[in-house]
């Protein structure tokens, strides 16, 4: 499993770690675009977790949650705000 918590677009796109990963988990507060970016770069399922901690107009995680739900990348699962346990349960079901 690959956990992507903080990275820039170039680091994610150039990363060879995305190849061969069974599941990727993406945790985001304000940068919710990472989930669909990773979903577009890898064939592995991605679990996106919006967090309530953020800056600007994060609105306690609602902004990140709505942005993650609006993505068009296939294979991206979005769980509730601050729901790391739900993300772990989803990953457990995805792994063989």
pLDDT digits (tens, 9 = 90+) for 44-79: 888 888 888 867 677 888 888 888 888 777 888 899
pLDDT at 3: 58
pLDDT at 64: 83
pLDDT of 13 over the 70 cut: no
- Per DSSP, which regions of 1-96 are E strands? 2-4, 24-28, 46-50, 76-78
Q: Which residues of 11-41 are buried (b: 16+ CB within 10 A; e: fewer)?
A: ebeebeebeebebbbbbbbbbbebbbbbbeb
pTM: 0.73
pLDDT at 17: 64
């Amino acid at each position: 499993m690959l956990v992507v918590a903080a990275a820039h677009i170039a680091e994610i796109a150039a990363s060879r770690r995305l190849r061969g990963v069974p599941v990727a988990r993406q945790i985001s507060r304000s940068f919710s675009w990472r989930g669909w970016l990773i979903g577009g770069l890898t064939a592995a399922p991605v679990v996106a977790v919006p967090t309530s901690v953020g800056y600007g107009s994060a609105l306690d995680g609602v902004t990140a949650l709505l942005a993650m739900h609006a993505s068009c990348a296939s294979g991206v699962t979005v769980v509730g705000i601050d729901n790391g346990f739900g993300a772990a349960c989803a990953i457990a079901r995805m792994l063989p």
